[in-house]
Chain A
Amino acid sequence: MMRRVAIVGIGFTPFRPLSPEVSYRELVYESAQRAYHDAGINPREDVDSFITVAEDYEEGTAIFDEYTPDQLGAALRPVHTITADGLYAISAGYMLIQTGQCEVVVVEGHSKASNVLTPSYISALALDPIYNRPLRFHPACLAGMEMARFLVETGTVREQCLRVAVKNRRNALLNPLAPYGADLTLEEALASPPAFAPLSEVEMSRSADGAIVVVLASEEATRRLKGHPVWIRGVGWCSDSPTLETREWGEAVYAHLSARMAYRLAGIRNPAREVHLAEIDDTYAYKELMHMEALGLCRRGEAGRLVEEGATERDGLLPVNVSGGSLGMGHLGEATGLARLAEAVMHLRGDAERRQVKGAQTALVQSWRGVPSSSGAVVVLGV
């Protein structure tokens, strides 16, 4: 029989474009303190294993996993680091608890993006060094190219993508953690200059600094903890080919297969009806639409119309990125999925204040690892 696994604590800093007064370690320390307080645990005694996510190049430090324990209270304890989005760490923690080897697992992700002075060079280093990198193009070109293909294959139009940017920037106005809230209108969005056409400036998320720490516990452990458990009902992850020349461009196959894995575990048959809110990747505005379709929240080619009709607004039939998403909260590198997850946990606890989606009992969380990747993860949460 599968053991049930719950999220019993979350802690985060507000997300900010700059954080010159604190180091990444101090950001993590602050979030960890909040998460341990939330769960009512002592990290030196109550945690069986710690999992962090980070990329060496984004941190500017090789073998960065060596730098992860201290600020989490994880020195001289079992720790491992995954070079992937935070939802992969949630999946790994879920499995560690299911093995019966662990009762309490802590997951951490952070972003100190403002310290990266040459971000386009870092993502360019993720391009194939022989076939692609010698061309010396800005890696966000791939987002423009993917968007163009998505539009032509699905019949989605640019204005529908801009509506995602409008919705998410406006959603962020109600989120005190989100630095990029804006009372943006569709007319203003339409006037946004092209960046990687058809992608325009306003459709690209900006980076932010911050840290998120999540405490996972077995069902048995939740009984002795004070927290309000939110159950992990399913996890999934998947990678498409890294080869730009041969992989899919018009649809997010990685997200489709990740969701299929997570839905199977969660027993979800009709996600459009069973999911009450979705916090999904919107690194670029079109990505939210592409991911909605891949996640089975609507049929292919329908996501743009749903946004137009207001179905994905906070008070719509299927609220998507009530938090403001990455467009509103800022992109947090590999911690992005954990920021989406934290928002979903707040709604399921009934703690999301003015953003609260009423009666939310099932939430879908999804991440994508940014250009040039074609991989990501899905987590289904429930109360």
Chain B
Amino acid sequence: MLPLEKPQQVHRALAWQGEIPTYNIYTFGIAGERFFRELKEHGRFLGTRCPACHLLYVPPRIYCERCFASLEEWVEVPGRGTVFTFTLAYYDLDGRRLEHPDILALVRLEGAHGGVLHRLGEVEPGQVAIGMPVEAVLKPPQERRGSILDILYFRPTRR
């Protein structure tokens, strides 16, 4: 039978507050290692091509998600492309409201069917549009560590 009585006063509703401290490493793997080494050492973007599906994967991987073939053809992709989609984020990860929104975008790199998800910089929120040409701004070589944060942000392409 369900209880006939339930707590009637909110201060009687007790709880234990716990925490979940977990730490991991996440292996780059064969494809990720090559992508981040190239970015760190030469400031270049690499993708892998699936000749059957005519797709150029960025981030690269060693298999095609469509036809499941092994991908062996590595191709350099320029560090520029267009804004595929974007948002003006008025909250940070902690859920704090931001006065000036953070601009997050998926950038389709030229010739790739993928791209890079990153922040936009050197641009006002109101100026951003889908299709806008942008280019990657990288950290100076000595500061690059082989991570997505080696890219500082993307900015409107300078002609």
User: Chain A interface (Cβ within 8 Å of chain B)?
Assistant: 20-22, 29-30, 33, 57, 60, 115, 117, 120-121, 124, 129-132, 134-138, 140-141, 144-149, 152, 193-199, 241, 243-246, 249
| Residue in A20, A30, A121, A134 with the greatest tally of chain B CB atoms within 10 Å | A20
Report B-chain residues with C-beta under 8 Å of the C-beta of A241: 65
Report B-chain residues with C-beta under 8 Å of the C-beta of A138: 89, 91-93, 95
Q: How many residues of B contact A (CB 8 A)?
A: 49
| Residue in B10, B12, B87, B95 with the greatest tally of chain A CB atoms within 10 Å | B87
For residue B121, CB closer than 8 A to chain A, the reply is no
- CB pair B10 A20 closer than 8 Å: yes
Nearest-neighbour CB distance to chain B for A244, whole angstroms, equals 6
Q: Nearest A residue to B8 by beta-carbon distance?
A: A21
For residue B123, CB closer than 8 A to chain A, the reply is no
- CB pair A152 B59 closer than 8 Å: no
A144→B105 CA distance, assembly (Å) = 10
- CB pair A136 B93 closer than 8 Å: yes
- CB pair A245 B115 closer than 8 Å: yes
7 pairs, CB–CB < 8 Å, chain A vs chain B: A20-B13, A120-B93, A140-B89, A141-B87, A197-B87, A244-B117, A245-B115
Interface 9-residue window, one of B24-32, B68-76, B136-144: B24-32
Report A-chain residues with C-beta under 8 Å of the C-beta of B57: 246
- CB pair B116 A130 closer than 8 Å: no
A60-B20, A135-B118 given as contacts; is B94 within 8 A of A144 (CB)? Answer: no
- CB pair A121 B93 closer than 8 Å: yes
- CB pair A130 B84 closer than 8 Å: no
| Contact among B12, B26, B87, B90 with A145 in the assembled complex (CB-CB below 8 Å) | B87
- CB pair B147 A134 closer than 8 Å: yes
| Contact among B24, B87, B102, B114 with A243 in the assembled complex (CB-CB below 8 Å) | B114
Q: Nearest B residue to A241 by beta-carbon distance?
A: B65
For residue B113, CB closer than 8 A to chain A, the reply is yes
| Contact among A60, A194, A249 with B106 in the assembled complex (CB-CB below 8 Å) | A249
- CB pair B87 A148 closer than 8 Å: yes
A22→B7 CA distance, assembly (Å) = 9
A132→B149 CA distance, assembly (Å) = 10
- CB pair B91 A146 closer than 8 Å: no
- CB pair B114 A144 closer than 8 Å: no
